[in-house]
Amino acid sequence: MSEFDLIQRYFTRATPGAELGVGDDAALLRVGSGMELAVSTDMLVSGTHFLPDADPFLLGHKTLAVNLSDLAAMGAQPRWALLSLALPEAEETWLQKFSEGFFALADQHGVELVGGDTTRGPLNLCVTIMGEVPQGAALRRSAAQLGDDIWVSGRLGDAALALAHLQGKVELSAADFAMCALALHQPTPRIELGMALRGVAHSAIDVSDGLLADLGHILECSKLGAEIQFDALPISDTLRSYSGQDPSLSFPRRRESSLIKTLDSRFRGITSDLPACGLSRMASSSINDGCLEDLLIHRCVLAGGDDYELCFTAPIAHRVAVEELSHRMNLPLTRIGAIVAGSGCTVRAADGSIINIGESGYDHFR
């Protein structure tokens, strides 16, 4: 199969929303009057973000989902995408499944694939996503205000728990793993929520690297601080049930491969240095009396990443509006804390003591 056959067969669809789509030197797009173009790009690299034997349908979904999540965090309406692929070989079943996963999600959100690039190389998937947002209405990281409530959508930590299981660091039951694996492999970009938050929220970010890291970006950009109540965080019953699990010490690694080790480094913020957890917690109180067990939960929820939920700040006056939105969308929106003066995020346990988890999220170069 030639490069052009490949593009034609798997990645060329009608694009009625573009002046010109796949097939020329550039696509031609027209943004609605009074709208701004929101553009973002995100790359998934084999061995860093996924295992090379990852299910291609789910990979197609996730490659687009992580990009849509960025537009959701801006309050933008997704319109167009570019897809750049480096592939070790043109494997037809893989391409078929990957494109099915990609287009299934694209169709859900009215996204048209208008171009890209295809080369041979180590598996690497890169999407550039484009959307529209009314002029001045985008939700920026820099716009949080003193006294804002901090909210988060959906639930946090399940994806990180699934990854911990894949790494042999915890042992989940088959049913629990199936639930968490859905969060890890098939995240739901909160597009509808992002658009509904225009004029309701002051600032927003999607939680891709972990709540503390991502909320930290809002705080830095807005030059403010935050206080979060750990007990208010939305945690699945599944994750909660692993309170009391020793996250790495009692379980032998079930799978050992260099790739798992590569992924390990991505996960080190969650389960590394566990023996030092006494040092990681500045205060000794916790949900249980334990230390190791709660560190797993704390890290999955606060630093796990891959959640692709929205964290946003909104004025207290909009509390009811946010709650109504939650009800209308049938999506949990949980108030987890407040924007305060100062800098950095303080996480408090129920008794008021401070929870410190050491690292706050994933950083590719740390």
As measured in angstroms, the least distance from the Cβ of 69 to ligand ADP is 20
Question: What is d(CA 247, CA 300) in angstroms, rounded to the nearest whole number?
Answer: 11
As measured in angstroms, the least distance from the Cβ of 23 to ligand ADP is 5
**Residue 23 touching ligand ADP (CB under 6 A):** yes
Residues of this chain, 299-358, that bind ligand ADP according to CB under 6 A: none
Question: What is d(CA 67, CA 109) in angstroms, rounded to the nearest whole number?
Answer: 12
What x/- string results for residues 112 through 151 when contact with ligand ADP is judged by CB under 6 A?
-x-xxxx---------------------------------
As measured in angstroms, the least distance from the Cβ of 117 to Mg ion is 4
In single-letter form, the type of residue at position 179 comes to M
**Residue 204 touching ligand ADP (CB under 6 A):** no
113 or 357: CB nearest ligand ADP: 113
Q: Interacting stretch for ligand ADP, rule CB under 6 A, among 41-49, 109-117, 215-223, 243-251?
A: 109-117
CA 286 to chain centre: 27
117 or 256: CB nearest Mg ion: 117
SS3 126: strand
> Under rule CB under 6 A, how many of the chain's residues touch ligand ADP?
13
Contacts of residue 173, Cβ cutoff 8 Å, sequence gap at least 6: none
Question: What is d(CA 325, CA 193) in angstroms, rounded to the nearest whole number?
Answer: 8
- The partner in contact with residue 326, picked from Mg ion, ligand ADP, none with C-beta cut-offs of 5 to 8 angstroms by kind, is none
As measured in angstroms, the least distance from the Cβ of 70 to ligand ADP is 19
- The partner in contact with residue 131, picked from Mg ion, ligand ADP, none with C-beta cut-offs of 5 to 8 angstroms by kind, is none
**Residue 25 touching ligand ADP (CB under 6 A):** yes
Q: Which residues pair with 312 in a beta bridge?
A: 151, 204
Question: What is d(CA 246, CA 296) in angstroms, rounded to the nearest whole number?
Answer: 8
Question: What is d(CA 166, CA 54) in angstroms, rounded to the nearest whole number?
Answer: 12
As measured in angstroms, the least distance from the Cβ of 116 to ligand ADP is 3
- The partner in contact with residue 225, picked from Mg ion, ligand ADP, none with C-beta cut-offs of 5 to 8 angstroms by kind, is none
What x/- string results for residues 148 through 187 when contact with ligand ADP is judged by CB under 6 A?
----------------------------------------
Q: Which residues pair with 45 in a beta bridge?
A: 124
Q: In what order do the strands lie in the sheet with 225-229?
A: 203-206, 310-314, 149-153, 333-340, 225-229, 344-348, 354-355
Of 94, 106, 102, the closest CA to residue 1 belongs to: 94
Q: Interacting stretch for ligand ADP, rule CB under 6 A, among 110-118, 220-228, 317-325, 342-350?
A: 110-118
**Which tokens in the block code for residue 313?**
């700040």
Of 284, 313, 267, 316, the closest CA to residue 162 belongs to: 267
Q: Interacting stretch for ligand ADP, rule CB under 6 A, among 20-28, 134-142, 215-223, 293-301?
A: 20-28
What x/- string results for residues 63 through 102 when contact with ligand ADP is judged by CB under 6 A?
--------------------x-x-----------------
Q: Do the strands 112-120 and 77-87 form a parallel or antiparallel pair, or are they unpaired? A: parallel
As measured in angstroms, the least distance from the Cβ of 6 to Mg ion is 13
Of 152, 163, 189, 195, the closest CA to residue 62 belongs to: 189
27 or 219: CB nearest ligand ADP: 27
12 or 48: CB nearest ligand ADP: 12
- The partner in contact with residue 116, picked from ligand ADP, Mg ion, none with C-beta cut-offs of 5 to 8 angstroms by kind, is ligand ADP
Question: What is d(CA 196, CA 325) in angstroms, rounded to the nearest whole number?
Answer: 8
Phi, psi dihedral angles at 334 (to 5 degrees):
-115, 130
Instruction: Note the residues at the interface with ligand ADP (CB under 6 A).
Output: 7, 11, 22-25, 83, 85, 113, 115-118
